[in-house]
Amino acid sequence: MSVQERKQRERAERERLIVATARELAEQQGWDAVTTRRLAERIEYSQPVLYSHFRGKREIIGAVALQGATELATAVRAATSAADGPRARVAALARAYLDFAARNPAVYDALFQLDGGLAYAQEDTPEPLKDAFAALLETLDEVAGDGVHPGLFTEVFWAALHGLATLSRAGRLLPEDADPRVELLVDRLAIL
């Protein structure tokens, strides 16, 4: 029994190594550089080993995405819980979100830009994704305004943040005015 447990442990450890390496490589050189060959070489196993853990590259991206969702939720909750008052909380949320996207571009891509084979806004949506949305909802709930469904409000606010994040990163928006853009967004969307 103990032998089997050790094997399972080692297997789980290797799976973590794969995901961590994929993430690292993606952050260093972009997802295009994350090929199954390079990934295999970095973990010092052959290519087919990857396929004994994941169905394919897509699932590896998905695994990185789930990791990212958990971290994003944590980052948002940490930022909002440290702020006083609704206005400050919403602003902190927005900054934390955009900061996460800027600091972890590859992870953000895995979450929202690439196809990680994950289900969204559905029954079988993985828990980390639901929880990340919940983290946004917790703070945005109180500023949705009367008669506005908090979920709907959160979706719109989230979409705005997502737009800012992606357009900024793609060079569609100049980075200089990032702060006033956030201020404008918070002041207009949130009802205090």
- Tell which one of 12, 16, 28, 35 touches DNA (CB under 7 A): 35
Task: Assess contact for 79 and 93: CB atoms under 8 A.
Answer: yes
CA 133 vs. chain centroid, Å, equals 10
The 10 Å CB-count burial string (b at 16+, else e) for 131-140 is: ebbebbbbbb
Measure the CA–CA gap between 123 and 105, rounded to whole angstroms: 28
Q: Which does 177 bind (CB under 5 to 8 A by kind): DNA, its own copies, none?
A: its own copies
161 forms part of the interface with its own copies (CB under 8 A): yes
- What DSSP state is assigned to residue 35? -
Which one of the spans 30-38, 108-116, 121-129, 165-173 is the region binding DNA (CB under 7 A)? 30-38
Structure-token pair, residue 160 = 């705005």
- Tell which one of 24, 27, 42, 45 touches DNA (CB under 7 A): 45
- Tell which one of 28, 46, 81, 125 touches DNA (CB under 7 A): 46
Q: Identify which of residues 58 and 181 has a Cβ nearer to DNA in the complex.
A: 58
Q: Which does 162 bind (CB under 5 to 8 A by kind): its own copies, DNA, none?
A: its own copies
Q: Which does 84 bind (CB under 5 to 8 A by kind): its own copies, DNA, none?
A: none
181 forms part of the interface with its own copies (CB under 8 A): yes
3-state SS string over 76-128? HHHHHHCCCCHHHHHHHHHHHHHHHHHHCHHHHHHHHHCCCCCCCCCCCCCHH
Sign for the CA dihedral angle at 125, 131, 136, 138 comes to: positive
Q: Identify which of residues 56 and 163 has a Cβ nearer to its own copies in the complex.
A: 163
**Positions in the binding site for its own copies (CB under 8 A):** 112-113, 119-121, 148-149, 152-153, 155-156, 158-164, 166-167, 170-174, 177, 180-181, 184-185, 188-189
